[in-house]
């Protein structure tokens, strides 16, 4: 299902943005899969960070119009149609299984019903500080379903945590609430969002795809930006992966040393003694 979700988002964006009616160019897209809500229930959705324009076939850069990438109603209708069609195809081909206790007629009725409803699609206005958005999205993804700052207490039987209750209607402000769950249901909710092995949670499309590195470099040159360079090995390591194998404290991808940012004690355990790096800080 996550693969169908990614594919539907990919086709919706690239097909609409390649249309001269909307942009007529190829953008760069970073898509991330999130599966949780504020209360840790299952809520699969995809966040997309999209460039404010794209590369035309002639090579020049085309900026978005009116500050928005695409009309929200258009994206909603196209995305809804593509995902419903992909689910039907997956069921017909056997790559998806019927839900337990549900017949083909029940599922078809549900898909027809979903086709008559409005889906939740949000498109934000162009934001001038793209690096800030990227950092926020990276922290949100790598931080997991719940940040430690949201945990209020745990007595070994119950867990209390904070969440935001989304306001209904435009202009409404979210309210801070607390929820108390027995520890087993809380852990069950948390583990539901642990991705299976080799799951791809981040995907890059368009100009950000690895096959379009040359086109991306040309677009960056038009904006007066340097070409993208990946992180290299540190401390004289000629091969980052060799260094990572020799030292478990090195990242297996870039070869840089891992950095300890915090030590979280178990419930009821005394706080750990300050390490040397903390004393120096």
pLDDT, tens digit (0-9, with 9 covering 90-100), for 149-174: 899 999 889 999 999 987 665 566 77
What's the CA angle centered on 12, arms 7 and 14, to 5 degrees? 95
What are 71-106's pLDDT values in tens digits? 999 999 999 999 999 999 999 998 988 888 888 889
pLDDT in tens, 205-232: 999 998 998 899 888 888 888 877 765 5
Half-sphere exposure of 276 (CA within 13 A, CB side): 0
Q: Which two tokens stand for residue 39?
A: 């209360």
Q: Is 43 in contact with 189 (CB distance < 8 Å)? A: no
Q: Where are the domains of the chain?
A: 1-145+197-229, 146-192, 233-272
Higher pLDDT: 217 or 143? It is 217
pLDDT, position 270: 54
Residues in Cβ contact with 32 at an 8 Å cutoff, skipping those fewer than 6 apart: 46, 47, 48, 137, 141, 201, 202
Start-end of H helices in the chain: 2-18, 72-93, 104-114, 130-142, 183-191, 213-222, 240-246, 276-280
pLDDT at 40: 94
Counting every residue, how long is the chain?
281
- Taking Cα atoms as reference points, which of 12, 41, 66 lies closest to residue 193? 41
Strand pairing partners for 48?
31
How many C-beta atoms surround the C-beta of residue 40 within 10 A? 22
pTM score of the predicted model = 0.76
pLDDT at 31 over 90: yes
**DSSP category for residue 26:** B
Per-residue pLDDT tens digits for 99-124: 888 888 898 999 999 999 999 898 88
CB-count burial class (<10 Å; 0-12, 13-18, 19+) for 219: buried
**Digit-coded pLDDT (tens) for 226-267:** 877 765 555 445 444 454 456 778 887 777 888 887 776 666
The closest of 208, 203, 140, 209 to 3, measured between CA atoms, is 203
**What is the C-alpha separation between 247 and 30, in angstroms, rounded?**
31
């Amino acid at each position: 299902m996550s693969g169908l979700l990614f594919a539907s988002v990919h086709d919706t964006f690239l097909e609409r943005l390649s249309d001269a009616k909307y942009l007529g160019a190829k953008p760069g897209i970073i898509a991330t899969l999130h599966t949780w809500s504020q209360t840790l229930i299952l809520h699969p959705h995809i966040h997309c960070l999209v460039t404010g324009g794209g590369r035309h076939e002639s090579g020049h850069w085309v900026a978005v119009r009116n500050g928005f990438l695409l009309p929200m109603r258009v994206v909603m209708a196209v995305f809804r149609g593509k995902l419903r069609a992909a689910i039907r195809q997956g069921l017909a081909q056997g790559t998806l299984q019927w839900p337990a206790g549900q017949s083909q007629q029940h599922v078809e009725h549900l898909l027809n019903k979903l086709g008559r409803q409005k889906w939740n699609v949000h498109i934000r206005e162009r934001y001038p500080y793209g690096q800030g958005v990227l950092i926020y999205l990276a922290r949100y993804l790598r931080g997991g379903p719940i940040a430690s700052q949201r945990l209020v207490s745990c007595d070994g039987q119950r867990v209390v945590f904070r969440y935001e209750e989304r306001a209904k209607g435009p202009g409404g402000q979210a309210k801070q609430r607390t929820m108390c769950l027995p520890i087993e249901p809380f852990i069950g909710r948390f583990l539901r969002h642990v991705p299976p092995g080799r799951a791809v949670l981040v995907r890059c499309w368009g100009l950000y795809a690895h096959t379009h590195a040359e086109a991306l470099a040309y677009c960056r040159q038009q904006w007066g930006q340097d070409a993208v360079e990946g992180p290299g090995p540190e401390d004289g390591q000629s091969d980052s992966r060799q260094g990572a194998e020799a030292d478990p404290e090195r990242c297996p991808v870039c070869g840089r040393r891992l950095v300890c940012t915090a030590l979280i004690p178990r419930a009821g355990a005394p706080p750990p003694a300050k390490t040397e790096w903390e004393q120096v800080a």
